[in-house]
Structure 1
Amino acid sequence: MGSMIDLGGSWTLGCPEWNGRTIAAELPGDNYSALLAAGMIPDPYFGRNEELVQEFRRYEWEFTREFEVPEELLSRRYVYLNCEMFDTFATVWINGKKAVSTENMFACWRPEVKALLKPGVNTIRIRFKSSELEAKKAAAGMPFPIPMNSCSKVENLNLIRKPHCHGGWDWGITLMAAGVYAPLTLTGVDGGRIDAVWTEQKHEKNLVECTAVAELHAEEPCRTAVTFRFNGEEKTVNASLKAGRNLVRAKFEVKNPRLWWPNGSGAQELYPLTVETADRTVERMIGLRTIEVVNRPDEYGVSMFFRVNGVDVFAKGANWIPADAFPSRQTEARYEDLLESARLANMNMIRVWGGGQYEKDIFYEICDRKGLMVWQDMMFSCSLYPSTEAFIANVMNELDYQIPRLKHHASLAIWCGDNEVIGATKWYDKERVSTYLVNYDRLNRELWRRVEALDPERMFWPSSPCGGPNNFNDGWHDDSCGDMHYWEVWHGAKDFSAYYSVRPRFCSEFGYQSFPSFETVASFCPPDQFNVFSPVMDHHQKCVRGNAPIIGMFGKYFRMPESFGDFLYLSQVQQALAIKTGVEFWRTLKPRCMGTIFWQLNDNWPVASWASIEYGGKWKQLQYHAKRFYAPVIATACRDPQDGQTRIFAVSDLRERCKVTVTAVVSDFDGLPQKRFEFSASLKPGESRCLKAFKPAELAGFNPEEHFMELRLSAECADGTALSFENTFFFDVFKHCAFRHADVKTAVKAGKDGGFEVTLSTDRPAFFVTLDTPGIPGIFSDNSLTLLPGEPKTLVFSPKKETTAAELGKALEVNYLRKTYN
Structure 2
Amino acid sequence: MGRSLVFRVNGVEVFCKGANWIPCDALPSRQTPARYEALLEAAAQANMNMLRVWGGGQYERELFYELCDRKGLLIWQDFMFSCAAYPATPEFLAEVEAEVRHQVRRLRDHPCLALWCGNNEDLGALTWFPETRANRDRYLVDYDRLNEGTVGRIVRELDPGRAWWPSSPSSGPGDYSDNWHEDGKGDMHYWSVWHEGRPFEAYYEVTPRFCSEFGFQSLPSAEGVRAFAPESQANLTSPVMEHHQRHPRGNTVIAETLTRYFRFPEGFEELLYLSQVQQALAIRTAVEYWRSRRPACMGILYWQLDDCWPVASWSSLEYPVRWKPLHYAARRFFQPVHVAAFCRDAALVEVHGINDTREVAPGELRIRFLDFAGRPRREEKREVRLPPEAATPLGAYPLASLPARPEELFLDLHLVQAKAEVENQLFLCPPKRCELPDPGLRTVVRAGKDGRVRVELAAERPAFYVHLEAPGLEGRFSDSCFTLLPDRPRAVEFLPLASASAARAAGKAAELERVLKVRHLRATYR
**Alignment match, 2:375:** 672
Structure 1 residue 308: Cα displacement: 0.8
Offset from partner CA, 1:71-126 (integer Å, 9 cap, x none) = xxxxxxxxxxxxxxxxxxxxxxxxxxxxxxxxxxxxxxxxxxxxxxxxxxxxxxxx
In structure 2, the partner of 1:742 is 439
Is the 1:504–1:593 contact (alpha carbons within 8 Å) kept by the matching residues of 2? Answer: yes
Out of 441, 448, 461, which is 1:764 matched to?
Answer: 461
| Residue in structure 1 matched with residue 512 of structure 2 by the alignment | 808
> What is the CA–CA distance in structure 2 between the aligned matches of 1:307 and 1:543, rounded to whole Å?
37
* Equivalent residue, structure 2, for 1:316: 17
Is contact 2:83-2:120 (8 Å) kept?
A: yes
Uncovered stretches (5+) of structure 2, i.e. residues with no partner: 501-506
Cα offset, 1:669, TM superposition = 0.6
**1:444 matched to 2:147:** yes
Distance 1:314 1:680 in 2: 25
CA distance in 2, matches of 1:754, 1:602: 30
Query: Are 2:254 and 1:558 equivalent residues in the alignment?
Result: no
Report what 1:533 is aligned to.
237
Give the Cα–Cα distance (whole angstroms) in 1 for the partners of residues 153 and 79 of structure 2.
14
Report the 3-state secondary structure (helix = DSSP H, G, I; strand = E; otherwise coil) of the residue aligned with 1:577: helix
Return the alpha-carbon distance in structure 1 between the equivalents of residues 474 and 55 of structure 2.
Answer: 31
Residue of structure 2 equivalent to 1:221:
none
Q: Which residue of 2 aligns with 1:702?
A: 404
Other-structure match for 1:368: 69
Deviation (angstroms), 1:657: 1.6
CA distance in 2, matches of 1:753, 1:322: 37
Q: Distance in 1 between matches of 2:399 and 2:494?
A: 41
Matches within 5 A, 1:463-482: 463-482=167-186
Preserved CA contact (<8 Å) 2:365 2:415? yes
Amino acid paired to 1:714: V
Partner of 1:178: none
Q: Is the 8 A contact 1:755 1:799 kept in 2?
A: no
Q: How far does residue 729 in structure 1 lie from its aligned partner after superposition? A: 1.0
Shift of 1:682: 2.1
Aligned equivalent of 2:320: 616
Residues in 1 aligned to 2:71 and 2:170: alpha-carbon distance in whole angstroms: 28
Deviation at 1:471, TM superposition (A): 2.1
Contact 2:337 2:361 in 1 (8 A): no
Are the aligned partners of 2:119 and 2:167 in contact in 1 as well (CA < 8 Å)? Answer: yes
Residue in structure 1 matched with residue 306 of structure 2 by the alignment: 602
Residue equivalent to 1:794: 491
Structure 2 SS opposite 1:804? helix
**1:711 aligned residue (413, 432, 436):** 413
Cα displacement (A) at 1:749: 2.0
1:777 match = 474
Cα distance in 1 for residues equivalent to 2:451 and 2:187 = 43
Compute the displacement of 1:684 (Å).
2.2
Q: How many residues align?
A: 516
* Cross-structure match for 2:503: none
Report 1:10-89 matches (<5 A). Answer: none
Change (3 A) 1:566 1:670: same
More deviation in 596-605 or 779-788?
Answer: 779-788
Shift of 1:754: 4.8
> Per-residue deviation at 1:519?
0.4
Q: Deviations over 1:224-245 (max 9, x none)?
A: xxxxxxxxxxxxxxxxxxxxxx
Q: Counterparts of 2:450 and 2:82 in 1: how far apart (Å)?
A: 44
In 2, Cα distance between equivalents of 1:458 and 1:687? 26
Structure-2 separation of matches of 1:696 and 1:711: 16
Q: Does 1:733 align with 2:430?
A: yes
Note the 1:58-207 alignment, pairs <5 A. none
Deviation at 1:561, TM superposition (A): 0.3
TM-score normalised by structure 1 residue count: 0.62
8 Å CA contact 2:399, 2:406 repeated in 1: no
Mapped to 1, the partners of 2:387 and 2:135 lie a distance apart of: 52
Query: C-alpha displacement at 1:341, in angstroms?
Result: 0.4
1:412 aligned partner: 113
Alignment of 1:332-371 (within 5 A): 332-371=33-72
C-alpha spacing 1:508/1:753, structure 2 compared with 1 (3 Å) = farther
- 2:179 touches 2:189 (CA, 8 Å); kept in 1? yes
Give the secondary structure class of the aligned counterpart of 2:240: helix
Contact 1:355-1:379 within 8 A present in 2 as well: yes
Whole-angstrom CA distance in 1 between matches of 2:307 and 2:331: 19
Summarize the Cα distance change of 1:461–1:750 in structure 2 as closer, same or farther, 3 Å threshold: same
Q: Deviations over 1:329-381 (max 9, x none)?
A: 00110000000000000000000000111101000011011100000000011
Instruction: Determine if the alignment matches structure 1 residue 460 to structure 2 residue 164.
Output: yes
> Which structure exhibits the higher relative contact order, with contacts defined as CA atoms closer than 8 Å and separated by 6 or more residues?
2
Which protein has the larger Cα radius of gyration, Structure 1 or Structure 2?
Answer: 1
Summarize deviations over 1:130-160 as a string: whole Å, max 9, x none. Answer: xxxxxxxxxxxxxxxxxxxxxxxxxxxxxxx
Find the partner of 1:421 among 115, 122, 144.
122
| Cα contact 1:407–1:455 (8 A) shared by 2 | yes
Deviations 1:567-591 (A, max 9, x none): 0000001000000000000000000
Identity of aligned residues (%): 51
1:674, distance to aligned residue in structure 2 (A): 1.4
| Structure 1 residue 753: Cα displacement | 6.5
Structure 2 counterparts to residues 171-250 of structure 1, below 5 A: none
Match of residue 393, structure 1, among 94, 105, 114? 94
Equivalent residues of 1:612, 1:619 under 8 A apart: yes
Deviation at 1:707, TM superposition (A): 1.2
Deviation at residue 470 of structure 1 after TM alignment: 2.0
What is the Cα deviation at residue 327 of structure 1? 0.4
Work out the CA distance in 2 between the residues paired with 1:322 and 1:389.
30
Q: Which residue of 2 aligns with 1:633?
A: 337
Q: Residues 306 and 317 of structure 2 are in contact (CA less than 8 Å); yes or no, is this contact kept in structure 1?
A: yes
Counterparts of 2:335 and 2:476, CA distance in 1: 17
Deviation of the 1:804 alpha carbon? 1.0
More helix by share: 2
Q: Secondary structure at the match of 2:227?
A: helix
Whether the aligned pair in 2 keeps the contact of 1:754 and 1:798 (CA below 8 Å) is no
Displacement of 1:750 in angstroms is 2.6
Deviation at 1:752, TM superposition (A): 7.3
- In structure 1, which of residues 682, 690, 704 is the aligned counterpart of residue 385 of structure 2? 682
CA contact (8 A) 1:381 1:419 kept: yes
Q: Which has the higher strand share?
A: 1
Question: Does the 8 Å contact 1:317/1:598 carry over to 2?
Answer: yes
Residue-by-residue CA offset, 1:494-551 (whole Å, 9 max, x unaligned): 1100000001100000000001100010110111110011111000000121310000
State the secondary structure of the residue aligned to 1:415. strand
Conserved 8 A contact 2:410-2:425: yes
Q: Which runs of 5+ in 1 are unaligned?
A: 1-299, 717-721
1:283-342 CA-partner distances (Å, limit 9, x unpaired): xxxxxxxxxxxxxxxxx2111011111111100000000000010000110000000000
CA contact (8 A) 1:538 1:546 kept: no
What is the CA–CA distance in structure 2 between the aligned matches of 1:808 and 1:497, rounded to whole Å? 39
Aligned residues of 1:649 and 1:691 also touching (Cα < 8 A): yes
Q: How many angstroms apart in 2 are the aligned matches of 1:504 and 1:302?
A: 10
Hey, which bits of structure 1, 4+ residues long, moved more than 6 A? none
The residue aligned with 2:504 is none
**1:611-637 deviations in Å (ceiling 9; x for gaps):** 000002100000000000001111111
Secondary structure of the residue aligned to 2:395 is strand
User: Distance between the aligned counterparts of 1:796 and 1:814, measured in 2?
Assistant: 14
1:432 maps to a residue whose letter is N
Report the residue type matching 1:582 in the other structure: A
2:409 and 2:428 in contact (8 A); partners too:
yes
TM-score, normalization by structure 2? 0.96
SS in 1 for 2:128: coil
Deviations 1:227-285 (A, max 9, x none): xxxxxxxxxxxxxxxxxxxxxxxxxxxxxxxxxxxxxxxxxxxxxxxxxxxxxxxxxxx
Q: Which residue of 2 aligns with 1:663?
A: 366
Deviation at 1:472, TM superposition (A): 2.3
Instruction: State the secondary structure of the residue aligned to 1:391.
Output: helix
Which amino acid is the alignment partner of residue 652 of structure 1?
N
- The CA distance in 2 between the partners of 1:583 and 1:350, in whole Å, is 15
Equivalent position of 2:192 in the other structure? 488
